[in-house]
Structure formats: structure tokens, C-alpha cells
Amino acid sequence: MFGLNGPGKMVGGWRWRRGIHCVASALCVVGLACGSGIARAASNDGKGAYKTGKYRNLFAEAGHSQAEIDAKINAAYQQLFHGDGETQAIYFAAGKNANGPLSYVTDWANHDVRTEGMSYGMMIAVQMNKKEEFDALWNWVMTNMYISDPVHPSYGYFSWSCKTDGTAREETPAPDGEEYFAMSLLFAANRWGSGTGIYDYHAEAERLLRAMRHREVKSGQTKFGPRKVGPEVNEEHAMILFVPGVMEHPFSDPSYHLPAFYELWARWGPEEDREFWARAAEVSREYFVKATNPKTGLAPVYANFDGTPHETRFVQSGEFGYDSWRTPSNWSVDWSWWRKDPEEQVLSDRIQGFFASEGMGKYSPVYTLDGKAQGATPKLTPETDAPIGLVGTNAVASLAAKDKVRAREFVDALWNAPVPSGYSRYYDGMLYMMSLLHASGEFRIWGPK
């Protein structure tokens, strides 16, 4: 989790990150709660890239040559992973241990290492065919973030935030990190083949996926006080939780919903959980509709299981905030890969219509759900006042948008945006890099050979 406005505040033992949603269980209505319906959902391969093997290249559609596109992607990767350490890079080597080299991705603004950034870095590495960087990141994660003590309340998960020297800043997990870890590990297993030990990618992915759903509730002490931690999903609603702590009123985060990934876990994950992930994919598609504003398409940072905003005393909880930037990208990639729910096209048109009305390159990072800006972003570069990570995810929404003329404007905005540097280069940089891969058709499903 990212904290542009600081590292967050502790509440009941949980750190509320990045400044601060889930449908009811009437699933038989859509043919999913009954076992045969779930099986049919998992066997329906849709009409997207999973079925066809074809990925849209929005930059090529906009007239750019493949050589230009490759050069832009490689330049961004080189700057963010191997650029100047003071102003450009977020990836840093950190020595070696018995398992090999170690590296981390740091949130430069908050001087820490987060499971969010490490898992994004691993996903970028597997998509870019950078096995050395992938392994070095995973080694750092397993060395410093993994909770291996069976009596620890977070056993089987990862500390969501550590200092760059590997010291934990909190010993509880953030499920968005676990989701990307699991998916990147499965892609690595399929693209490169699994090794041994921590580099048995497939076994590590399955272990994590099982923990996410089946980890028993554990209570106990951490370095930061008592914690009570359970599964990372809500079984009744088939939804990812914002935190797996046992809470009186649990809730979700719309930007954590990744139906494109869940469909793959319904095919490649542990066999006993495949029906659950097929159900979760359908639930998430409905949840995007329920959680977004019907006029603006904006989703809140936190939401209840019925899609209503989950209000807390922390800023952004019920607003479109930094976490929310990722939500349109999530539904649009799902459309690109699976093409199962046309409502995702409606959502992309809706949110692009809203941001176009704000003015290309002029929008704020935070809004009320009905579209009132909550403060202008600092001027990041001479080229744009808009947060570059949001420029990127709005461009990814073009994968699902039906208004092709307007969608092209968002693709052009991403193409013209500079690689993030300086203070904001962590979160903006990660979203920018992944958005380049999505928009170019280079963020792909790596299936079993």
C-alpha cells in the first residue's frame, strides 16, 4: 500500500495506508451459487485474449511503430529499475544470501518496502522476461517479509511494510500484495519453469493461494502488539478483504478486485478452490458496477460488501483516492482477457467521459464519488499537472471503452507522459510501467506449456 501523504496511522493494530468495496449472497440468481453453475463459469473461456491469444496494441492502433513502442517500454523499465538512484530508480540491489542475489523496490517518498511494490515489480519482471530481477525480488520478499513462524498470527503471509534494511514496520499482510505475488509466481512457473526451494514458483503460488482462502484465524503477539489474522477472502461474499484481520465489520477495496486473475486461478490454482475463484470473478464484475458512481464511474477506496462506500474517520475512505486509480484498469484488463461482462465497457466509457470533462492532463488525484475535486496534485512535470499513475490507468480503460475517439485521447496522454521521476516515482512509476505493458498488448497471460 502506498502512502503519498505519509505512512499511515495505526487503528486497532492495522495500518491504514495511502490516505485512505461486494455483493450479497444471492448468487444462485446469476447461476453461480449452485455447484454446476460455478463449474460452467470456470469452463467458459469468454471471447478475449485468453481464448484468442490476441491482445490489443493501443499504441499501434494510434499509429506508433513497434520499434517506437518497444523503445518506450524499454526506456521506462531501464529508468525505473536501473536508473539514477537519487532521482529515477525504485529498484535497488541489496547483496546476496544463500539463495542468491537480493533486490527490493522502495516507496521512495516513505522510505520503505511494500508488498504492493515488490509484487508489482515481480509482475513487471516476468512480463519483461527479466528472470534475474524477478528472483532477486522474490528472494528479498522471502528473506525479509515472509512470516514463517507457525504461532505468529500472520503465519503464511507477508509483512506489508519493511524498512529497506529488511526490518519490519508492521507484521500484518495487505491482500493486494499477496494477489500479485500469487499471479506473478504462476506466470513465472509457466514462462520459465519452476526450480527448487523458494524458486519452485508453482508450489509457492499454490501455498499462498491456499493460505489466502483457508488460513485459520490466529491470535497472538507481534513486534507491534497483539493481532488477530484470518483468511484474506470473505467466504460468504467471495470477495477479497481490505485486511485479513478479524474485524467486527469487514469490508473490501474495489481496487483489490482482480477477476482477470481469478479466472486463471479457477483453472490453474489448487483444485479444491477453483469453483470459489470462478465465483469470485463473477462477483467482482458485479461489484465494479455496484461500487462505482452511476454518473462518474468513480469508485471509493473502501467499500462494503454491497458496494456502498465504507466510511472511516480517515481521508479518502469513501472517496475516489489513490487506491482507486487502479480500479478502471482492473475491469478493463478483465474485459481484454475474458470479455464476459459488457458492463465493463459501459464503466470505461463512463469514467473516461468524466475525466475528459475535467480536461486531459488537468485532473486531480482525489475526488468525491460525484466528481468534486479534493485538491490539486502538485505539479509533477512541466508536461502535465495530472498524476501520471492515473494517466496510465485511465489509458488502460481504453481496452474496454466503446467510444474509440475519446479512448484514443487517453492513450495519447499516456504516450506523451514522461517516465515518473523524483518524489512520486514509486506508485506513479509502477502504475505507469504496467499501463505501458497493458496498452501495448505486452502484459500477457503466461499459461502452462
Phi, psi of 303 (to 5 degrees): -145, 150
Say how many Å lie between the first and final Cα of the chain, rounded: 33
- 428 assigned to active site: no
Q: Could you tell me the CA-to-CA distances from 426 to 12, 23, 85, 138 in Å, in that order? A: 28, 32, 12, 18
- The answer to whether 116 is a known catalytic residue is yes
Check: CB of residue 329 under 8 Å from CB of residue 399.
no
Residue 409 dihedral angles phi and psi, to the nearest 5°? -60, -35
Residue 294 C-beta-side C-alpha neighbours within 13 Å: 2
Q: Measured between alpha carbons, how far is 324 from 232 in angstroms, rounded to an integer?
A: 19
Q: Phi first, then psi: what are they for 46, rounded to 5°?
A: 65, -160
Which residues, 6 or more positions from 227, have their beta carbon under 8 angstroms from its beta carbon?
Answer: 13, 153, 154, 171, 172, 219, 220, 221, 245
Q: Which of 170, 232, 282, 323 is catalytic?
A: 323
Q: Is residue 49 within 8 Å of residue 263, measured between CB atoms?
A: no
Q: Which DSSP category does 215 fall into?
A: P
Contacts of 314 (CB under 8 A, 6+ apart): 9, 11, 16, 19, 20
Interatomic CA distance for residues 12 and 360, integer angstroms: 40
Whose cell is 474485459? That residue is 335
- DSSP calls for 32-51: -SSHHHHHHHHH---SSHHH
Report the side by side order of strands in the sheet with 100-107: 91-97, 100-107, 112-114, 161-162, 168-170
Instruction: Given the residues 107, 116, 206, 344, select the one marked as catalytic.
Output: 116
C-alpha–C-alpha distance, residues 364 and 268, integer Å: 39
Cα 328 from Cα 344, distance rounded (Å): 9
> At residue 45, what are phi and psi to the nearest 5 degrees?
-85, 5
Angle, helices 66-82/427-439, rounded to nearest 10 degrees? 160
Q: Please identify every residue annotated as catalytic.
A: 116, 323
